[in-house]
Chain A
Amino acid sequence: MVLLCLFAGLPVSSKADDPQQVTGDLDRGQRLFAQQCARCHGDEGQGDQDFYPEPLQGDHRVSQLFEIIERTMPEEDPEACIGQDARDVTAFVHDRFYSEAARQRRAAARIELARLTVPQYRNALTDLLQSFQKSAEPEVEQGSGGLHATYFKTRSLSGKDKVFERTDPVVDFDFAAGVPDPAEDFDDPEEFSIRWEGGLFVEQTGRYELRLYSENGVRMWVNGPDQAVIDGWVRSGDQTEHVESIFLLGGRTYPIRIDFHKRNDPTAAISLRWEPPGGVVEPIPSQHLRRGKFPRLFVATTTFPPDDRSVGYERGTRVTKDWAEATTLGAIETANEVLRDLESLAGIAKDDSDDERRQKVISLCHEFVARAFRQSLDDDQRDRYVTRHFDDEDALEKAVKRVVILALKSPRFLYPELGLEGDVVTATRLSFAICDGPPDAALLEAAGKGELSTPKQVSEQARRLLDDPRGRAKLRAFFRYWLQIDVPHDLSKDSEQYPEFTPQLTVDLRRSLERFVEATVWSEASDFRQLLVSNTIWVNQRLADFYGVDAPDGDLFQPVVFEQEPRAGVLTHPFLMAAFAHRADSSPIHRGVFLVRGILGRTLRSPPDAIELVDSSLLPNMTTRQRVEQQTKPDTCQNCHRTINPLGFALEHYDAVGRYRLGEAAGTVDASGEYQPTRGDPIEFSDASELSVALSEHEEVSRNFVERMFEFLIKQPIGAYRAGLLDELTDEFVASDYHIRDLAVRIVSSAIASNER
């Protein structure tokens, strides 16, 4: 098997706008540009008043730019610059000033006006609607996960026929021809019913495929009492699986209820399963089921174009036509939701007169706009956004619709900081930075009372919000971004070599990594170094079996110390080891690139040539390390691979599925090497463990972590803020014993303090 250029499928995001297909010699390109182009376009492509005043900037891909230059330039003699000459000129122009990346490099970093990102937009709408609900607060029952279950001895689901209640950690039962519990007082195995109630917690935003399997009659409600998402009360033929997909916002818990009844059926069974985004079909794990009462949440399902991620993290500094159109559809969707629930939102009573109704609806609208804009409205605004829409004797509902749509199309809603003044700006920045959502009532109240003016007050609020489900969700999303967990990895492996490495196992691994990070971040010490050096891995039974450690019970994840083999936290976590590997072999290059770019924060250019890499089956007598060394020997490769390779080799003790190994068929593993940081002494190491200890306190790693977190939370470049901020934050991070949650709080507080626009 021959693998084409590794980098074609390299699942790492590049900060540069990588030139594709066209590569050229930049120096030669610069000389040619000076000779043939600069007269009209200016030395730096800035343009020339007499000839071509526009600066040479644009968004053509480099291949398109090449085609244009070769075909048309220079204007007076297009034949003068073709072939390799055109290639070199293109590379120079694109790299130096044409591309978005080049322009970013050249422009001094500044804090740009930003609209809501898509997650922020969705959160803002959900929270806005939620703020009007009377029973807004969920009543969570303590204890581990699962749903509250009530069992009945008839199909009626009515109290008089109740047999017993209990908590079911998962809904996954096969009662065969019997009753749910023979010890209990069921009259007749031919007829009984069960109701499960509680909350469904989801971590990630996306489409969830809910699958309710049953041999009997079932109904399921998710997020709302209105209409069952699944109605299989009629059992028919061999139709035993009901599938419905539903869009849910991550970091939230939704009400769920399942009704089940057995009647006229020989046997009884039920299983509540799902396929979460990027996951596999599985029974919904108990960690995602909660006991208690949860309010229905409005979730805007309008599809949005993805946010601009050209600089690595998602941000809202650009608008497009499809985005503008999506905001219209989102506004309409929200307006319909407000109308659907108008009576309750406006607090209308049954015996209210028409005039009372009208007044209540108008004051609801005033409040709606004020909350959407995060400010109280002056008289002019009250009239402009609300009152005048009620002038006509039009139907009340139409006026409400106008108000909601106008508010949600307004830049005052869509650009979170526009038009705000005073402490409410602080509250808004703080909340969007920590939670990706608008300030809650407590935060606005603090702002209103002037209790957001000192750094201490800001930090305290930041700390409080970080522990809010929305804050936790955003921090979780940060780690998915930093560790590239949310990149679509292909973890499928060679089925002969790794027959037990199933899709379910890859989902387990991802959860294992997420649980480990979560547990570390939310431990008291919240120690970043633990992320890199810990020899604990979270496993459930399947993972324990596969990786050969003592098994915890069932699907529950437990931390297990890997005493028999060296482990180095996320660096050797089997999810990332398998993600940065081929189907049968490890991949030191993928792993090395992950370390160089992701952990150390260094930039790498794209490889100059497409190289065919040969896998172990063609060179059976060489170890993986030997093969990679041989294939990256040329000088052009070594520019980068002298850094990449040793770091990748350090992880050679972990095979393509992340199992520890001492050797491969061709010989023992040599994981030793040296890394030369941009500053300071080289790091020598004999294996991943030693490397990880050195990296865990290395300034390059800390700095990168601080900067990545800053960008992810604030969604602006750190260079746009106070000079020296990155150094300060890094120093404080080290001084706090690498406390991750403190870092998040410091980042947000300092960004607020130094952003006096």
Chain B
Amino acid sequence: MASFLSRRKLLQGLGASAAALPFTGNLASLGAGESSGQRKRRLVVMFSPNGVVPWNFWPDEAGELSAFKESLQPLEPFRDQTLIGKGICNKVRGAGSAHMVGIGGLLTGCELMPGNLKGGSGPSAGWASGISIDQEIAHFLQSQPETRTRFGSLEFGVMVPERADVWTRMSYLAANRPATPINDPYQMLRKFYGQVEDRKLVGSLLDDVLDDLRAVRSRVDSQDRRILDDHATFVREMEKELRQAESDGAIGSERPELEPGVRADDIPRLSRMQIDLMVHGFAADFNRIATLQFSRATSGEKLKWIGVDESHHTLSHESDDNTEVQEQLTQINHWYCQQLAYLAKRLSETPEPGGEGSLLDNTLIVWTNELGKGNSHTRNDIPFVMVGGGLDFKMGRSLKFDKVHHNRLLLSLAHGFGHHIDEFGDPNFCGDGPLTGLS
């Protein structure tokens, strides 16, 4: 392994090592970008379903953010790092119901394909016809050595049904190619560390393998010993390489411990575990882009842990006059906002490795939804609540736009990463380019 040392050097600071090489082969030059003065930038898109209760959500005034309405109260500690944009509309039309287009067009900015799925009225539909912005930016970052990471992007899910259809998919690798969010934190942890663990385990067994070879060696004649000796040499080489990696301290370092045996219906705990893993992945620079999807469009989840025993979707159809239900809907969004706040908190507590400030200072979280409001199914005033300093936006403000296309916000996100594309999704919705007034 002639290049072992140099590769090892490159891997330092990643929490990985030669033993992790099978999956870090593409890390050509970590650190180069940072040393050239560019800070790391990250994006998290968080999704929750079925619209919001507008009067309990949107600030009354544009301008400096002086106070939050009830749904957004959990964000109070991060008020000066929050940016709220009202008046941003998902104008994508075509095949599919409001919910379907709401989620399928949310990050893609384009229509659904015609297909065999029908929801409500309107022509039946298939998958989105283009890539989503998170994946677009991830491709861009992966295309350059200085921003390339092990995974590029990670898709986290919480209570996303194990079913691939338009309602359950937000992120698209390309037209017709939805990305599957990982619901199970244990699976995510295996994705992070499974191979390293395996290698470590193999390393601890190699002495036994050598003993074994020695024992059988005595039973064959001298000419046949050659093949066993060759074999033993390779085992010893492997042992040496693994020991080298271990002495670098990379194996087994910093691996997060997950509480074992958490049940698949313990949503609050799973949500925290997923967020903890997301923060860990950012700290280890496994990825710069992540999505965190709660349930699905048209979610019928009952959020019993906050005392809501009725299906979210059913509740969201109730009229504005039903104050009891509107309060429940407000509480539902309040709980989702708590998850956002927990993510912001964990990011803010984690220092930027090798950089300045906290992870939150270099991350933009965008919390969004497939609808503006549940009972009208409007896709005007789609909630876009942004937290963190990832993209040089000017935070601590509430903005009011005049019915702008959400494609322009998607463009702003790309431009925030230095990816200066002129159009994204449906070009008809990209006039005037990125949104003005964000930074």
Q: CB distance A418 to B231 under 8 Å?
A: no
Please determine whether B201 and A234 come into contact, CB atoms closer than 8 angstroms. Answer: no
B212's nearest neighbour on chain A, judged by CB, is: A410
Q: What B residues does A402 contact at CB under 8 A?
A: 201, 204-205
Indicate whether B115 reaches chain A with its CB closer than 8 angstroms.
Answer: yes
| Minimum Cβ distance to chain B for residue A241 (Å) | 11
Q: Judging by beta carbons under 8 Å apart, are B231 and A216 in contact?
A: no
B223, B231, B234: the one within 8 Å of A110 (CB): B223
* A264 in contact with B118 (CB, 8 Å): yes
Stretch at the interface among B67-75, B121-129, B139-147, B364-372: B121-129
CA distance A113 to B230 in the complex (A): 13
A588 on interface, CB distance cutoff 8 Å = no
Contacts of B114 in A (CB 8 A): 236-237
Which of A324, A328, A398 meets B231, CB within 8 Å?
A: A324
Residues 91 to 137 of chain A near chain B (Cβ within 8 Å): 110, 112-113, 115
Cα separation A238 to B220 with both chains bound (whole Å): 64
Interface string of A399-411 (1 = CB under 8 A from B): 0011001100111
CA gap between A325 and B112 in the complex, in Å: 46
Q: Would you call B176 an interface residue if the criterion is a C-beta within 8 Å of the partner chain's C-beta atoms?
A: yes
Whether B179 sits at the interface, judged by CB under 8 Å, is no
Decide if A264 touches B230 in the complex (CB within 8 Å): no
**Chain A residues within 8 Å of B124, by CB:** 264-265
> CA separation between A419 and B220, bound complex, in Å?
9
Number of A residues with CB within 8 Å of any CB on chain B: 41
Chain A hits for B115, CB < 8 A: 234-237, 264
Q: What separation, in Å, do the CA atoms of A233 and B208 have in the docked complex?
A: 49
Q: Do A419 and B227 touch (CB < 8 A)?
A: no
Question: Contacts A264-B117, A325-B238 given: A411-B231 contact, CB under 8 Å?
Answer: yes
In the complex, B76 has a CB within 8 A of chain A: no
Q: Mark A404-424, 1 if CB is under 8 A from B, else 0.
A: 011001111001001100000
| Residue A617 interfacial (CB < 8 Å) | no
Is the beta-carbon distance between B216 and A319 smaller than 8 angstroms? no
B237 touching A321, Cβ below 8 Å: yes
A239 close to B126 (CB less than 8 A) = yes
Cα A342 to Cα B212 in complex, Å, equals: 26
Contact of A319 among B125, B202, B230 (CB under 8 A): B230
**Complex interface residues of chain B between 44 and 102 (CB less than 8 A to chain A):** none
Cβ-based interface call for B166 (8 A): yes
For B113, the chain A residues whose CB sits under 8 A away are: 236-239
> A282-339: which have CB < 8 Å to B?
317-321, 324-325, 328, 331-332
Flag if A412 contacts B231 (CB, 8 Å). no
Interface size in chain B (residues, C-beta < 8 A): 39
Q: Which of A231, A234, A324, A415 contacts B126 (CB 8 A)?
A: A234
Q: In whole angstroms, how far apart are the Cα atoms of A627 and B422 in the complex?
A: 65
Distance in Å: Cβ of A239 to nearest Cβ of chain B: 5
Q: How many Å lie between the Cα of A328 and that of B127 in the bound state?
A: 41
Asked if A463 is at the interface of the complex by the 8 Å CB criterion, the answer is no
1/0 contact trace for A705-722 toward B, CB 8 Å?
A: 000000000000000000
Whether a CB of chain B sits under 8 angstroms from the CB of A263 is: yes
Is the CB–CB distance between B208 and A406 below 8 Å?
yes
Task: Tell me the residues in window 180-208 of chain B with beta carbons closer than 8 Å to chain A beta carbons.
Answer: 198, 201-202, 204-205, 208
> Which of chain A's residues have a CB closer than 8 A to the CB of B127?
234, 236-237, 239
Q: Do B198 and A418 touch (CB < 8 A)?
A: no
Q: Using known A-B contacts A216-B116, A265-B116, A325-B238, determine if residue A236 contacts B205 with beta carbons closer than 8 Å.
A: no
**A233 touching B234 by the CB < 8 A rule?**
no
Assuming the contacts A319-B227, A419-B216, asked whether A405 and B126 have C-beta atoms less than 8 A apart, the reply is no
Task: Determine the chain B residues whose CB is within 8 A of the CB of A419 once the complex forms.
Answer: 216, 219
Q: Is the CB of B209 within 8 A of A406?
A: yes
Q: B165–A398 contact, CB under 8 A? A: no
Please tell me if A29 contacts chain B, counting CB pairs below 8 Å: no
CB-CB nearest in chain B for A413: B212
- A42 interface hit (Cβ, 8 Å): no
| A264 contacts across to B, CB distance below 8 A | 115-118, 124
Least CB distance, B93 to chain A, in whole angstroms: 16
CA gap between A328 and B235 in the complex, in Å: 10
A471 contacts the other chain (CB 8 A): no
Closest to A331 in B: B202
Indicate if the CB atoms of B209 and A237 lie closer than 8 Å.
no
Residue A198 interfacial (CB < 8 Å): no
Q: Is the CB of B238 within 8 A of A328?
A: yes
Closest to A401 in B: B201
**In chain B, residues 24-62, which have Cβ atoms closer than 8 Å to a Cβ of chain A?**
none
Find the B residue at minimum CB distance from A113: B224
Which chain A positions have C-beta within 8 A of B234? 319-321, 324-325
A418 to B220, CA, bound (A): 8
For B213, give the chain A residue with the smallest CB separation. Answer: A411
Contact yes or no, A324 B219, CB < 8 A? no
A418–B212 Cα distance when bound, in Å, is 11
A384 to B175, CA, bound (A): 55
Q: Which 5 A-B pairs have the closest CB atoms?
A: A236-B126, A237-B113, A113-B224, A324-B234, A264-B124
A-B contact pairs, 29 of them (CB 8 A): A110-B223, A112-B223, A112-B227, A113-B220, A115-B227, A216-B116, A234-B116, A234-B117, A234-B127, A234-B164, A236-B115, A237-B115, A238-B113, A262-B116, A317-B227, A319-B230, A321-B234, A328-B238, A332-B198, A402-B205, A405-B202, A406-B205, A409-B202, A409-B209, A410-B209, A411-B212, A412-B212, A418-B219, A419-B219
Residues on B facing A (Cβ under 8 Å)? 112-118, 124-127, 129, 164-166, 175-176, 198, 201-202, 204-205, 208-209, 212-213, 216, 219-220, 223-224, 227-228, 230-231, 234-235, 237-238
For the A-B complex with A113-B224, A234-B117, A406-B208 known, give 6 more contacts whose Cβ atoms are closer than 8 Å: A234-B165, A237-B115, A324-B234, A332-B198, A409-B212, A418-B216
